[in-house]
């Protein structure tokens, strides 16, 4: 599997809501989180 195929496979899996694990390296998990209001520290807004 080349780099392009790895990226395509990872992207498709994540878009479908699946998790992905490369043993001994990294794992990716899709989670839905509630929205939050951001704050700009410079303008305090």
Each residue of 1-45: pLDDT tens digit?
Answer: 789 998 898 888 888 888 888 889 888 888 889 999 999 999 977
In a 10 Å sphere around its CB, with 0-12 CB exposed, 13-18 middle and 19+ buried, how is residue 44 labelled? exposed
Structure confidence at residue 35 (pLDDT): 93
What is each CA distance from 16 to 1, 36, 43, in whole angstroms? Answer: 21, 24, 38
| Confidence at residue 26, expressed as pLDDT on a 0 to 100 scale | 85
Place of tokens 């498709």: 12
For the chain, the domains span 1-31
The confidence score (pLDDT) of residue 31 equals 87
């Amino acid at each position: 599997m080349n780099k392009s195929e790895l990226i395509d496979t990872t992207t498709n899996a994540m878009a479908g809501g699946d998790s992905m694990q490369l043993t001994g390296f990294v794992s990716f998990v899709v989670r839905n989180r509630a929205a939050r209001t951001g704050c700009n520290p410079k303008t305090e807004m």
